[in-house]
Amino acid sequence: MAGGRRRKLHFSKIYSFRCGKASFEEDHSQIGGPGFSRVVHCNDPGCFEAGIRNYAGNYVSSTKYTLATFLPKSLFEQFRRVANFYFLVTGVLAFTPLAPYSAVSAIAPLIFVVGATMVKEGIEDWRRKQQDIEVNNRKVKVHQQNGVFGYSEWKNLRVGDIVKIEKDEFFPADLLLLSSSYDDAICYVETMNLDGETNLKLKQALEVTSGLHGDTDLCDFKAIVKCEDPNANLYSFVGSMEFEEQQYPLSPQQLLLRDSKLRNTDHIYGAVIFTGHDTKVIQNSTEPPSKRSKIERKMDKIIYFLFFILFLMAFVGSIFFGIHTKDDLQNGKVERWYLRPDNATIYFDPKRAPAAAIYHFLTAVMLYGYFIPISLYVSIEIVKVLQSIFINQDIHMYYEEADKPAHARTSNLNEELGQVDTILSDKTGTLTCNSMEFIKCSIAGTAYGRGVTEVERAIDRRKGSPLAHGEGNGNGQLEHPADPKPLIKGFNFSDERIMNANWVNEPRAEVIQKFFRVLALCQTAIPEVDEETGKVSYEAESPDEAAFVIAAREIGFEFYKRTQTSISLHEFDPVTGQKVERAYQLLNVLEFNSSRKRMSVIVRSEEGKLLLLCKGADSVMFERLSKSGQEFKENTVDHVNEYADAGLRTLILAYRELEEDDYRKFNEKFNGAKNSVSAERDSLIEEVMETVEKDLILLGATAVEDKLQNGVPDCIDKLAQAGIKIWVLTGDKMETAINIGFACSLLRRGMKQIIITLETPDILALEKAGEKTALRKASKESVLHQISEGMALFRQSSGSSEAFALIIDGKSLAYALEDDVKDTFLQLAISCASVICCRSSPKQKALVTRLVKAGNGKTTLAIGDGANDVGMLQEADIGIGISGVEGMQAVMSSDIAIAQFRYLERLLLVHGHWCYRRISTMICYFFYKNIVFGFSLFLYEAHTSFSAQPAYNDWFLSLFNVFFTSLPVLALGVFDQDVSARFCLKFPILYQEGVQNMLFSWLRILGWMFNGFISAVIIFFLCTNALEHQAFNSGGKIVGFEILGATMYTCVVWVVNLQMALAISYFTLIQHVFIWGSVAIWYLFLLAYGALSPTLSTTAYKVFVEALAPAPSFWLVTIFVMISALIPYFSFSALQMRFFPMYHGMIQWIRHEGRTDDIEYCDMVRQRSLRPTTVGHTARLAAKSRRVQDGNHST
């Protein structure tokens, strides 16, 4: 191979059974029954039997619409919004004589807004269509006839086709592996598109088809596959193949999934089993849960509130109109002569006043529709997309080492980032690196390893020990640094008793030899030897496993070669003092899973000994030791506890020798279970494995360190200062989780720990007795009692500055989450400064997230990096995926993806705050400007005795929201900053504005609405009174309604745009252009529209050129009204800023007064965010200071 490397053998899934012809003693009862009815005629897809089954084709579509459904479906989506539906109804009514304006002017804005949204939807769907076309038109080699393969498009594949896939090509459908370029019919598959994992998986064809090596060998191949129906389970496949009148069992080992890639294999032959939307990957492509921000949901309520006001005004106006109409004609005198009630039909007929009032109500509902901001939804969508682009482009959230920027996968939740109350975080790979280093071990009851972990340094800092600043030798003494050695990834072990082959001089050298031999053999890693340097590197399924084989290599047990049936080591020989080659026959691999918590291999040594080598969690390994194999148990348990205290992940190593007869019996049962096609196949396999993994002899324990990610403590400190509560949900042991909590300052000295656990003598005794009913009852009572004690402890300390931490294990959590307990548990949890849930399952993580979200009604954010975090991410209001080393499943299920936990600080405190403030102000401003506009219409109509006469020209009405006020609000939503990014991070207290929803509370919303009401009143009454009683121009003409309307409209445009200028904190050139440009567009429109013929421009015909512009009173009134309308808001803002500043106001004062470098003053402001319940190192120092002060006072 290129680059001086020889062809490497990749086994990410090593054989779990001995090679050779498998037995076939399985239960076929399911095949052909419900759920197992699929029949595939391999190499004969066109036969009659295949045709009548009518299986789906291989064409896939991910689009939301088709050409035929785009218009109806997208229109339905648009008019599901109540505001759009309202405008549709009023647009239809505009074609009736009831309309106060022309139909075209009413329909045009709706068409523009709905059309813009539909175009956006169409473009997004077209992009999906282009991706579908690219995938469906990919080429693949398909067997045509007589052993000839020709290229065909993916979309043309049929169930039963034989395809030839070459190296680095994707599988076009779910295929049954028939053979490969390897003699033993194995191949290597990359499943990154399915589960995000980059490590390769091994697949192997049945032995009976493994001889189909060439194209011509497929000429006469015929087989019938009977298997399960299409389903979404990626990791299961049950079926059988009938070939040459023999039945052969099929398993997931023979199934190649669509969108996986063939790696390190020249080619494979496969039969198409599932196509198109029947494939497992498409079956899994469900839509993520729909999430809407709290602000958006509240916005809907405001729209309904405005509808209520609208209908109320229309109702009140109609009553007054009915009364006026009834009294219009009395004693032959006509009061409103200009309406000609004596010649009216129904609208102003005094004899039919009730009917006239009803018609007026419909007209008023149309006229007052300008209360509802028609462009609000589309404007917010545009702003959120642009905000997401800024998040994606933020260089401060770009992880250069992995070339990964932040990626907002949805723009719906931008403002929600500024309102997070609780963060629920995974630990491994999220707070820590998931990059394991072998650092310590316990062998034969002796502890080895001089390294000091980050957690130990944090512990020593708490104790004031010198180890906080140096390395220890394992006995609490500082060690002089040795000569610097090149760093080895995954290996941070240092102990002169073991290194450099010194282990041979140890008293229990034979146990040490067996210990590292187990590390080298009990694994599924793949070696790769560089032929130029001779160095061996490894590809492993997990960072832990890579660390183990690297440690074995460094100590002198180098794993360098693997074949289908053997593992070869370079071992240090204590007798000769040289490295020797030793080969071990690999017989079985008993795989690891989360329920077994261990893995084993069975090998035969060169001396012919049968050995079972096992490694696993202490919770399952100690109980499997033989009585004679517990010699070092007591010391090992002590060391394991010490390692857990140091934040290390531990595994127990053990072995046993097997008798030939025992192994033969086991192997027969094991193969029978593996070949079973029954639903209980997995449990059968586990039962058989249980029979051999017993009577083990203890060797020792490993300890690997999963280091904290860079910046995690500082990030947690800032988030805590911002008032955000942080919960850790982890699968680790309690001791490990607690010490990681101390390392990242979630826990601190002096914080009272409420620990809820079921590891009590009474509960353990019931577990051993196997009394399930009594155990469940006692466990629940114990959990309830511990929660009640915690609540009592909290009540006793109320009023004091004590902080509490709640730590609960997985068993207890199962009872704490039950319906009759969970509310009490939540009440205790939210009272604590930090919460750590240990030994949590993925389901428990999701349930805890749901409980917190529903329980306190505030915004929750979940962050994780692994597949076990997906439920938690989807359950939370916001899901953040870490694009780490555990694959991409968390990222694929998240709303926003970041590369490191530390970027959460900037994402929330900077972008979250900005987006929350921008969207909140933007929505409030939208309602403000529409109330100014809509209420001025109402006042004018009231002035004209509710005659349904609009104050403004039809096109003035239509274009207000679309042209004259739309761009400045977009600029505010994208660019405005009340405080710079530096100050957002310097003063985390600012984030509380979002958590407390200070900028979008009902008080603030109603305040903006009241401001709009005041502005409308000022504009209307000043304009009418200023223009009513004197000549408007030098010719002595008085003001008509067209001049009054144009003047009022000019004042409205000026006032709402200048209001925007007052509301903006951070001006950019774009905002200047948009604000002043909007005003300029109004004047240009007035000129252009007024120049059209009177039939088109109607009341606006030359109104600016001939009436407004030459009249000084127009300009004077505009300036006077504009200033008067802005005085209330300006006065309120000035008083609030001076005497009652909000958090951002305080920080703006600091900047304005030039006190940003005054450390003491800035610290004083920051201290306002610290509470006794705050975590983080800043709070830890503050708590320490308080303790010192309390001590001084007491003396």
Tokens representing 226? 């009977």
Do 582 and 742 touch, CB atoms closer than 8 A? no
The radius of gyration computed from the CA coordinates of the chain, to the nearest angstrom, equals 38
Cα gap 472→598, rounded to integer Å: 32
Catalytic residue among 421, 426, 717, 877: 426
Do 636 and 448 touch, CB atoms closer than 8 A? no
Q: Provide the β-strand partners of residue 330.
A: 333
Tokens representing 517? 């031999």
Return the DSSP state at 616: E
* Sequence-ordered list of residues with C-beta below 8 angstroms from that of 942, at least 6 positions apart, any chain: 317, 320
Cα gap 200→13, rounded to integer Å: 8
Give strand ranges (E) for 976-1082: none
- Which is it for strands 859-864 and 878-882: parallel, antiparallel or unpaired? parallel
The C-alpha torsion from 292 through 294 and 296 to 297, rounded to 10°, is 90
Tokens representing 572? 């240090």
Cα gap 530→527, rounded to integer Å: 10
Backbone angles phi, psi at 29, to 5 degrees: -65, -30
Q: Provide the β-strand partners of residue 472.
A: 478
Which amino acid, 537?
A: S
CA distances from 386 to 408, 725, 1137 (A): 11, 29, 30
Runs of H (alpha helix) within 481-577:
509-521, 543-555
Backbone angles phi, psi at 1077, to 5 degrees: -65, -35
Return the DSSP state at 732: S
Token pair 């600029």: residue = 971
* Sequence-ordered list of residues with C-beta below 8 angstroms from that of 431, at least 6 positions apart, any chain: 425, 708, 709, 712, 728, 740, 744, 901
Q: Is 330 exposed, middle or buried (0-12, 13-18, 19+ CB in 10 A)?
A: exposed
Give strand ranges (E) for 591-647: 598-604, 610-616
Do 941 and 375 touch, CB atoms closer than 8 A? no
Cα gap 978→916, rounded to integer Å: 11
Token pair 């947690």: residue = 716
Cα gap 265→183, rounded to integer Å: 11
Residues in the chain, overall count = 1195
Do 1062 and 1127 touch, CB atoms closer than 8 A? no
Q: 3-class DSSP state for residue 164?
A: strand
Determine the straight-line distance between the first and last CA of the chain, rounded to whole angstroms. 78
Q: Is 660 exposed, middle or buried (0-12, 13-18, 19+ CB in 10 A)?
A: exposed
Cα gap 562→395, rounded to integer Å: 44
CA distances from 1162 to 69, 78, 260, 499, 1156 (A): 59, 49, 55, 52, 7
| Catalytic status, residue 483 | no
Cα gap 1086→1102, rounded to integer Å: 8
Runs of H (alpha helix) within 81-157:
82-93, 103-136
Tokens representing 611? 């050995």
Nearest to 797 by CA among 840, 762, 828: 828
Residue 1025: how many other CB atoms lie within 10 Å: 10
- Catalytically active residues, by annotation: 426
